[in-house]
Structure 1
Amino acid sequence: MPIAQLGVVVLDCPRPRELAEFYAAVLGGSITGAEEDWVDVAAPGGHRLAFQQAPGYVAPSWPAPDASQQFHLDLTAEDLDAAEKEVLALGATVLDAEDRSRSWRVYADPAGHPFCVCAS
């Protein structure tokens, strides 16, 4: 029997509403609760993300052999090229998408968190 269940994954960021809108659009989710320093997003499948304002937030470096990326999200998509167009239009930036033979591409969200879009 588990001790606990995962409730929500929380990402620190400078502007919670802005980042929540980005992930709600990427995941096809909706904002379900918002305060000045905390915003919740419900994604399809019952998954939840939250975004917490963090004064002094510094985005992780990727790749950085001397620093940790802290964490990253792996998102899946049927069409990597179409997904790339859409995440870039929403404000993502490319970190490592040059190798088109791989089954994943690496981006940063608007607050600088790395995330991958992987072939489903």
Structure 2
Amino acid sequence: MSVQLKLRAITLDCPDPEALAAFYQQATGLDPHPGSHGEFAGLTGEGGLLIGFQRVADHRAPSWPDQTVPQQLHFCFGVADLDEAESHLLELGAGKPDHQPDEDRYRVLTDPAGHPFCLTAN
């Protein structure tokens, strides 16, 4: 018997779920999840995939590329123009670490809670 798993949700720990959901909503255009409340906020993607953000007391942001506080996971987003997407996301509140392994192929940014994510050229 073969068991197939269907990914339903990805949830990130953070200090401010509503603020982080707002950042990713502006960045991706995903719809707010109706079950959002003070301790949890979510966005609904294609096929019902939920990206969730949950409040964690004493959240420690990842310290990428240093692994003192590991990144644990990161998103990769395909974009048509790396420079344009980077500029837009920086305006929304993303950060850009000094360490960029291969800026011609992809960019590493951090969301407002410090989670690293990548932009890759389509």
Relative to the length of structure 1, the TM-score reads 0.89
Match of residue 73 from structure 1: 75
Alpha-carbon RMSD across the aligned residues, in angstroms, is 1.9
CA distance in 1, matches of 2:102, 2:92: 22
Question: What secondary structure, in the 3-state scheme, does the structure 2 residue paired with 1:112 have?
Answer: coil
Worse-matched range after superposition: 50-59 or 31-40: 31-40
Q: Which runs of 5+ in 1 are unaligned?
A: none
Greater strand proportion? 1
8 Å contact kept, 1:28–1:43? no
Look up the equivalent residue of 1:25 and give its one-letter code.
Q
8 Å contact kept, 2:60–2:69? no
- Deviation per CA, 1:3-40: give whole Å up to 9, x if none: 53211000000000000010111111121221110111
Q: Are 1:109 and 2:102 counterparts? A: no
Match of residue 60 from structure 1: 62
CA distance in 2, matches of 1:104, 1:56: 31
Identity of aligned residues (%): 37
User: Where has structure 1 moved over 6 Å in runs of 4 or more?
Assistant: none
CA distance in 2, matches of 1:67, 1:36: 25
Equivalenced residue count is 119
Matches within 5 A, 1:21-36: 21-33=22-34, 34-36=36-38
CA distance in 2, matches of 1:3, 1:97: 36
